[in-house]
Amino acid sequence: MQIIDVTAEHLDLFCLCLEDWSDEAKEAGDRRRAWYEIMKQRGLGAKLALDEDGRAGGMIQYAPIEQSVVAGRDLYFIYCIWVHGYKKGRGNFQKRGMGTALLEAAEQDARENGAKGMAAWGVALPFWMKASWFRKHGYRKADRDGMALLVWKPFTEDATPPQWLKQGPPPESVPGKVTVTAYTHGWCMAQNLIMERARRAAAEFGDEVEFREVDTLENRIDLLACSQTDAVFVDGKQIRQGPPPSYDKIRKTIAGRVKRLGG
């Protein structure tokens, strides 16, 4: 196995989160590529794990925490580590050491760039991005917001722990209309997919629905306000994000609110 930096050759695959076989990944649009291009200028690290036949099976992306979506300093933050685990497409690459090798390579890179530690997010559940996986690799809890854990591994004695941004108030609604507000960042293909579905669904209702897109990559103030990189609200109520709700489900939620407008 080999760990390499993402180059032009693998960029499409990286931007599709290794799911080049998936129509859903394509439905998510090119926002992740735009995020990559911007974040590359801001210190983003992006690596792939290749198997002995040169097939990409895993990826990791991380950046200086000051450029990221959590509060902290002199650390790097892992946005995402993903070893392809579906049977579909390129197949299951998990439990062959790719995740460990990617994490170690990212930590080494961060150290070489002068970071005082590494931070990552994980979920306090036995599926999805398990926080327990990071614990096995020497990470410990820095902060918690419900099921979402922020974990970290200090490299130096004087490193300070990261924190989640605090949740602000829900977005305001436009009087007399249904307001769909999509906070969008770009780093996550699944979140981009939800945003695109919400945009399309909102457009179906014409003037009755106001669609607002808030770019949390460029407007850190909005990120601070909503505390999340990506979220879709329909009239101030957040749509559950993971796993991505279907287009029909989002459309139904909006339709329900539109019906209330009339009545």
Ligand X SMILES: CC(C)(COP(=O)(O)OP(=O)(O)OC[C@H]1O[C@@H](n2cnc3c(N)ncnc32)[C@H](O)[C@@H]1OP(=O)(O)O)[C@@H](O)C(=O)NCCC(=O)NCCS
CB 65 within 8 A of CB 73: yes
**Could you tell me the smallest distance in angstroms from the CB atom of residue 192 to ligand X?**
12
| Residue 137 burial (10 A CB sphere; 0-12, 13-18, 19+) | middle
Contact 179, 235 (CB under 8 A): yes
- The neighbour count for residue 58, using CB atoms within 10 Å, is 27
Of 58 and 171, the one with the shorter C-beta distance to ligand X is 58
User: Least distance in Å: CB of 156 to ligand X?
Assistant: 25
CB nearer to ligand X: give 87 or 95. 95
Q: Which residues are 32's β-sheet partners?
A: none
- In the complex with ligand X, the residue whose CB is nearer, 85 or 114, is 85
130/212 with CB nearer ligand X: 130
Q: Which residues bind ligand X (CB under 6 A)?
A: 58, 80-83, 85, 94-100, 128-129, 133, 136, 188
- List 240's β-bridge partners, or say none: none
Best CA proximity match to 178, nearest among 103, 94, 80, 256: 256
Give the nearest residue (CB) to ligand X.
Answer: 99
Residue 48's SS3 state is strand
Q: How far is the CB of 151 from ligand X (least distance, A)?
A: 13
**In the complex, what is the shortest distance from the CB of residue 17 to ligand X, in angstroms, rounded to a whole number?**
8
Residue of 113, 96, 106 lying closest to 139 (CA atoms): 106
Instruction: Find the shortest distance in angstroms from Cβ 174 to ligand X.
Output: 32
Nearer to ligand X, 19 or 143 (CB): 19
What secondary structure letter does DSSP report for 194?
Answer: H
